[in-house]
Amino acid sequence: MIGKFFKQLTDKPWLPPEQEVVAEINTGAVALAVPPARVALRLFLCVAFVLFSLFSVAYYVRMELDDWRPLAEPGLLWLNTAVILLSSVALQIARQAVQRGNTRTVSFTLTLGGLLTIAFLVGQYMTWGELRGAGYFAAGNPANAFYYLLTAVHGLHLLGGLVVWARTVKRMWQGAEPYQIRLSIELCTTYWHFLALVWLGIFWILIST
């Protein structure tokens, strides 16, 4: 696909088109054979990746300054990490099931994936309470502030995903056929994998510093 893109960029459009292009014109196959929503999601993941990368860069730059006091991360984070990975796995199973048209598995794993995600968010919120209880306030130290900030931004992205998830689940309960919700489930799965990876990145940054 990328090769084709670069080949197109070397076209000389002022010359009569090559046969290949004429054939494409006749079949109408110029655009990429991917649903627009998937292209848009991939673009959005690029944007979100840049966002999280910039937060990480800011984290590492700020960390070098004198007043940084590393944070003792709550042990609950390990459990949360396991939960979000499980939610990602559940959605992956849902994706494969919907491709086979297996309605019962889809129904179970899709619901499970969302509930695990909610559990993850609750768990993240509990770590906030734990840290505040131990006196780690956001204004106290940049390490604390970054902890709240990174988990909040990541959580907000998951909440956005949950909106789409909820709409998909609603359609499923209203009796939508698997092929009707297939694209939504596939896109949710991609998004969840991405956010699970982002969380692993954030988690690694937190525990390694």
Q: Build a one-symbol-per-residue string for 46-75: x at contacts with another protein by CB under 8 A, - elsewhere.
A: xx--xx--xx--x--xx--xxxx-------
Q: Which residues are CB-neighbours of 111 under 8 A, at least 6 positions away?
A: 169
Residues in the chain: 209
Asked if residue 68 lies in contact with residue 141, where contact means CB atoms within 8 angstroms, the answer is yes
Name which of 31 and 72 has its Cβ closer to another protein.
31
Picking from 85, 83, 104, the residue whose alpha carbon sits closest to that of residue 94 is 104
Q: Distance (Å, rounded) from C-alpha 132 to C-alpha 89?
A: 32
User: By CB under 8 A, which span of 30-38, 110-118, 123-131, 166-174 interacts with another protein?
Assistant: 30-38
Picking from 157, 156, 180, the residue whose alpha carbon sits closest to that of residue 170 is 180
* Residue 9 binding another protein, by CB under 8 A: yes
Q: Distance (Å, rounded) from C-alpha 136 to C-alpha 129?
A: 10
Name which of 10 and 208 has its Cβ closer to another protein.
10
34, 76, 115, 134: which one binds another protein (CB under 8 A): 34
User: By CB under 8 A, which span of 3-11, 101-109, 127-135, 179-187 interacts with another protein?
Assistant: 3-11
Q: Distance (Å, rounded) from C-alpha 30 to C-alpha 24?
A: 6
* Residue 180 binding another protein, by CB under 8 A: no
Query: 104's torsion region: left (phi>0), alpha (psi -120 to 50) or beta?
Result: alpha
For residue 30, the minimal CB distance to another protein (Å) is 6
Q: Build a one-symbol-per-residue string for 138-177: x at contacts with another protein by CB under 8 A, - elsewhere.
A: xx--x--x---x---x------------------------
Q: What is the contact surface with another protein in residues (CB under 8 A)?
A: 5, 8-16, 21, 24-26, 28, 30-32, 34, 36-37, 39-40, 43-44, 46-47, 50-51, 54-55, 58, 61-62, 65-68, 138-139, 142, 145, 149, 153
